[in-house]
Structure 1
Amino acid sequence: MATTDLPSLSSVDAEIRQLALATPPSEMHGALCGWLAGGGASVRQWPAQVLVDDALATPAEGSALDRLRLASAAQLADRSFNFELLLPDSEASLAERSGALFDWCRGFLGGFGLSGGGRVQLSEEGNEALADIAKLAAARPQDDGDEEDEAALVEIEEFVRVAALLLHGDCVLAAQHRQRLN
């Protein structure tokens, strides 16, 4: 069974830089999760599919991007709701953390759309969740904030995490359930 621990933000960032990609690590993870939540295949060559660039090299087995894929797919499929977003830790500034969350949402929307998730009949909650992720994707981080802003960011992160699980449920788990019934 694959590990469900995400690689570190810094190791994903280092591999992205090594591949000379312009995508921030949180956005890359969001794109991967959107791809998987919308029904995209968990394959080693996922960056080429998610970033729509056939010239991209396939991540080496065991590399940070390969581990990111394996952990993300395992977390989304796990019924214990241990899905995590790849974001800076609480020591980072509010602007850095909120910016990374908004990047994650932008990536998620792109990956979800590319996977065909938009062709699936979403639940009412799924449609609302996707619309809310789109609003967050359009948001811009503020430079500073107080404890109230910190608390709000934690709540928004939790909402995005649950929204991604809900959309995965609508697109992937519901389809698997229907196949088992037939």
Structure 2
Amino acid sequence: MADPLPDAPTLQAELDQLGLATSPWELQGALIGWIAGGGDADGGWLGKVMADPALPALKDGSAIDRLGRGTQARMEDNDFELALLLPGDDTTLQARSAALFDWCRHFLGAFGLAAGAKPPLSEEGEEALQDLARLATATAEPEGDEDDETALTEIEEFVRVAALLLHGDVAIARRRRQLH
């Protein structure tokens, strides 16, 4: 089992120190999109994912470095331990929904950077990518009920599985092609 990932407040503190106007969930969405598209979570991943080569390399052991290494390990393992970093149940449904939609937007941007304009995708991968794009354009509703809570949980699980599917279609498939 991989080491625990840093929590959102710890990540936010480091993002603030770097002057980055992004949230932990946006960062994780971008990181997972980058990895799914074939990018690597090496020491320079932050500058690549944020499309800012002026960003410094990560310090070994920093929260952002641990997020990168831990996420890469979770995407590569066969236990499917990958979990989305999103606000907890103590926040409003609207805030959690908005964070998930932000996660999807950042995933798509970084996935496109790493995978290129037309990555080879399975039919399921194409559908998953289109669904993620629809989620990325969604707007969180101010009110919600128990059914909406259940729907958000199901959407979060779909997003998690879609990210893993796209990782298999692009990053893992690319490595297999390079071996042959």
Same fold? TM cut 0.5: yes
| Counterpart secondary structure, 1:58 | coil
Aligned length: 180
Distance 1:41 1:117 in 2: 15
In 1, are the aligned partners of 2:2 and 2:74 still within 8 Å (CA)? no
| Counterpart secondary structure, 2:99 | helix
| Counterpart secondary structure, 1:119 | coil
Which letter does structure 2 place at the counterpart of 1:32? L
| Counterpart secondary structure, 1:120 | coil
Distance 2:86 2:145 in 1: 20
Q: Match of 2:148? A: 149
| Counterpart secondary structure, 2:148 | helix
Residue ranges of structure 1 left out of the alignment (5+ in a row): none
Output the TM-score relative to the length of structure 1. 0.94
- The alpha-carbon distance between structure 1 residues 116 and 133, as it changes in their structure 2 partners (threshold 3 A), is same
Which letter does structure 2 place at the counterpart of 1:168? H
Residues 107-122 of structure 1 mapped to structure 2, 5 A cutoff: 107-122=106-121
Q: Match of 1:71? A: 70
Residue ranges of structure 2 left out of the alignment (5+ in a row): none
In 1, are the aligned partners of 2:115 and 2:170 still within 8 Å (CA)? no
Distance 1:111 1:140 in 2: 21
CA-atom RMSD, angstroms?
1.4
Residue by residue, what CA displacement relative to the aligned partner does 1:26-49 show, whole Å, maximum 9, x if unpaired? 111101100000001221111111
Q: Match of 1:96? A: 95
Output the TM-score relative to the length of structure 2. 0.95
1:4, distance to aligned residue in structure 2 (A):
4.4
Distance 1:91 1:54 in 2: 36
| Counterpart secondary structure, 1:75 | helix
Distance 1:119 1:140 in 2: 27
1:144, distance to aligned residue in structure 2 (A):
2.1
Q: Match of 2:81? A: 82
Distance 1:93 1:71 in 2: 28
In 2, are the aligned partners of 1:122 and 1:170 still within 8 Å (CA)? yes
Q: Match of 2:48? A: 49
Q: Match of 1:138? A: 137
Distance 2:177 2:56 in 1: 35
